[in-house]
Amino acid sequence: MKRIVWLALALFGAMWTCDGQEKTLYNEIYYVLDPIEGTAQVTETPKLYGDVVIPSEIKVGNRTYRVNEIGEKAFKGNKNIDAIVIPSSIEHIYRSAFDGTGLMKNKAFWENGVLIIDSCLIATAKDISPKYEVPEGVRLIAAGAFENNKTVTRVILPEGLREIDHDTFKGCKNLTKINIPSSVRHIGEDILTGTALYLDESHWKRGSLIVDGCLIATNATIKSKYTFSSKKPVRLIASGAFKDNQMLTSIVLPDSLWEIPAGTFMGCTELREATIPATVTKVGMYAFYGCERLTQATLPTTLQSLGAGAFYGCLNLESQVLSDNLKGIPMACFYACRKFKQIQLPKEVERIDDGAFYGCSQLENIVFPNTVEYLGEVAFAGCQTLFKVEVPYAVTQIGKGCFKDCNRLYGVKLPEGLYSIDDEAFMGCLMLEKINIPKDLFRIGKNAFTNCQTLERIAMNEHVHIIENEAFLHCIKLSEISLPKELETLGERAFEQCINLRRVYMNATLEKVGDRAFATCKSLQEVKLSKGLLVIGESAFADCKNLQKVEWPDGLEEVGKEAFRDCIKLQTPDLSGIRVGKNAFKNCR
């Protein structure tokens, strides 16, 4: 992940902070997976010993991921790592990846003041030559490799170099000259910030610092309507090159570009229009993050990759045409685009990732292609004008909070193969009137339908095994429920405050009614308990003031404390031989 992404993820919320990223362990090394791009990043992995081999790919489940990054602090502090193999698939090595390891301390790995491992230049020492020529064959320079080196005055980079990561020469105050070979495909953020070259105004033209056809940075003297001008065609833009530039209002990018890298226009709050040429195949993470006035971004039909949070916080963006080459809508792609009204998803899109359309409060309609297989966490949460959804047949799981607080959503069609409705999936959908429970559904998660205040009918299938805590809490119009025959778990407060619920019929296999499962169901009149029921939890039916009839099972073993407290119309039963908790029938007739 790029450095700027960690900042953006932290702003996004705890769910997607770098510490919250889900790790996958594979052969003693931890990875963070990107399911859309099919890539894996090596992440913080403590307590490794001896020789470490990073594979070029890993297989997780039935899918293979290409290992392309070594993340920040990935091996930091592993004093007992003797050697490491870095595969050719690695495209980025981020800050402090090897700090404190045996590699950094072992002088045998260093040559002429430089640590190079498998064609990757990792770090430099203070005694490096002032005029340093990077050896032929180096393909990657790691983040911060030369940072704050006061000795170096000139660096000669070789043809064949592909990647220059962020902060590479940052703070090298005596560096006056550098070349960027034509082979370079990526330049990170702030690679020359604080160098003599950067601070010399003579190197800046019309608000831009361009080195060998690569736009490194811009400043406040840039023209608001920016056009590229350079002796050489601009072929690369560094990550964050326009970051926080408040002067820029529109830009037309040159046909010579192939990528808009991570954070290119991050924080350009005055940017209104951006035209991206057909040569561009990739728009990086958070490319237009926080471009509050952006109303139009013309993406090419040839686009193959769109990064996480690409349009995060573009408050005035109303619609966006996407390339049919895209296989996924990435995490937080259109997060908080409050004026976003319409989107036509790519024809063969497979994933709608976490938070992709979170907070798009004016999004009215979404049509899913049949190719969609995954709906991520809070993918459409807060889409307050979304009124109808038909989930594609290939989706087996609706992610946590996927449609949370879609308070005008009234029509939902779920596919027959759906296995799980995750926690908070439809929480706060105030207008949802009915829901069909598909035949293969196994689990209804915590708070899945909490506060669905107009939900009247639930067509429950017989194969649901789990109804989690507070699943239907405060569904105030729900009038009747027949629990599935195969139900094994009925969680705490599952139907609490369903004040219009009149009848409950339980299955034969349920052994326990969770604590407060039906508490404060004030209209409840009749309950048929399952024949296999063993335990009625604490306050399970407390304050059900109209409850008159309960069919008691023969095998009941325990009634929890206050289980039927204040059921003023219920006659206290004869439950001799059964453990009855304190005040279980307090104020019963």
Does one domain contain both 323 and 427?
A: yes
The pLDDT value recorded for residue 515 is 97
9: CATH: 3.80.10.10
> What rounded mean pLDDT belongs to the chain?
92
Residue 231, pLDDT score:
63
Q: Both 322 and 347 in a single domain?
A: yes
pLDDT value at residue 337: 96
168 with 52, same domain: the answer is yes
pLDDT of residue 230: 60
Q: Read off the pLDDT of each residue in 48-69 and give the average, rounded to a whole number.
A: 94
Do both 173 and 294 map to the same domain?
Answer: no
Mean pLDDT value across residues 154-170: 97
| Whether 38 and 183 share a structural domain | yes
Whether 265 is in a domain gets the answer: yes
Same domain, 418 and 504: no
Q: Residues 574, 513: one domain?
A: yes
Identify the H or E element spanning 11: helix 3-12
Q: How many domains does the chain have?
A: 4
* Overall average pLDDT of the 67-85 stretch: 93
pLDDT of 123 > 50? The answer is yes
Domain boundary (274, 308, 342) is at 308
β-pairing, 558-559 vs 296-298, is unpaired
DSSP assigned state of 6: H
| Nearest-angstrom CA–CA distance, 465 and 484 | 8
Task: Identify whether 199 is part of a domain.
Answer: no
Please tell me the distance from the alpha carbon of residue 550 to that of residue 535, in angstroms, as a whole number.
14
Instruction: Clarify whether residues 472 and 499 are in a common domain.
Output: no
Question: Considering the domain boundaries, does residue 192 fall inside one?
Answer: no
- Examine the pLDDT at 564 and tell me if it is beyond 90: yes
What mean pLDDT is predicted for residues 240-249? 94
Classified as helix, coil or strand, 378 is coil
Q: What is the pLDDT of residues 289-323, one digit of tens each?
A: 999 999 988 899 989 999 999 999 999 999 999 99
C-alpha 126/C-alpha 114 separation (Å) is 9
As a whole number of angstroms, the distance between CA 307 and CA 285 comes to 4
Residue 471 resides in a domain: yes
Per residue in 50-75, is it b (16+ CB within 10 Å) or e — as a string? eebebbeebeeeeeebbbbbbbbbbb
Structure confidence by residue, pLDDT tens digits, 4-55: 443 444 434 433 333 446 789 999 999 999 988 899 999 999 889 889 999 9
Q: Residue 240: give the domain boundaries.
A: 205-308
Position 495 scores a pLDDT of 97
Of 535, 439, 508, 432, which is closest to residue 475 (Cα–Cα)? 432
Residue that terminates a domain, selected from 131, 157, 187: 187
> Do 141 and 240 share a structural domain?
no
HEC string of 52-115 equals: EECCCEEEECCEEEEEEEECCCCCCCCCCEEEEECCCCCCEECCCCCCCCHHHHCHHHEECCEE
Has residue 483 been placed in a domain? no
Same domain, yes or no, for 326 and 362? yes
pLDDT score of 5: 44
Residue 158 belongs to some domain of the structure: yes
**Between residues 19 and 527, the one the model is more confident about:** 527
User: For strand 208-211 and strand 204-205, is the pairing parallel, antiparallel, or unpaired?
Assistant: antiparallel
Instruction: State whether 292 and 355 are in the same domain.
Output: no
Q: Tell me, yes or no, whether 92 lies in a domain.
A: yes
Q: Lowest-confidence range among 1-10, 140-149, 266-275?
A: 1-10
Task: Please say if the pLDDT value at position 106 is more than 90.
Answer: no
Mean pLDDT to the nearest integer, 113-132:
93
Write the pLDDT tens digit of every residue in 133-146. Answer: 999 999 999 999 99
Distances (CA, A) of 235 to 79, 162, 192: 41, 13, 18
Is the pLDDT score of 165 beyond 50? yes
Phi, psi of 6 (to 5 degrees): -60, -40
Q: Give the pLDDT score at 104.
A: 87
Looking at 124, 158, 187, the residue that finishes a domain is 187
pLDDT computed for residue 22 by the predictor: 78
Residue 19 shares a structural domain with residue 57: yes
Which of 368, 374, 372, 409 is closest to 390 using CA atoms? 368
Which pLDDT value is given to residue 10? 40
Does the pLDDT of residue 384 top 50, yes or no? yes
- The rounded percent of the chain whose pLDDT value lies above 70 is 96
What digits encode the pLDDT tens for the residues 393-419?
A: 999 999 999 999 999 999 999 999 999
Least confident of 85-99, 174-188, 227-241, 378-392: 227-241
Asked if residue 484 is part of any domain, the answer here is no
pLDDT in tens, 469-495: 999 999 999 999 999 989 999 999 999
DSSP assignment, residue 7?
H
**Residue-wise DSSP of 543-568:** T-TT--EEE--TT--EE-TTTTTT-T
Q: What separation, in Å, do the N-terminal and C-terminal C-alpha atoms of the chain show?
A: 65
H helices then E strands: how many in the chain? Answer: 3, 50
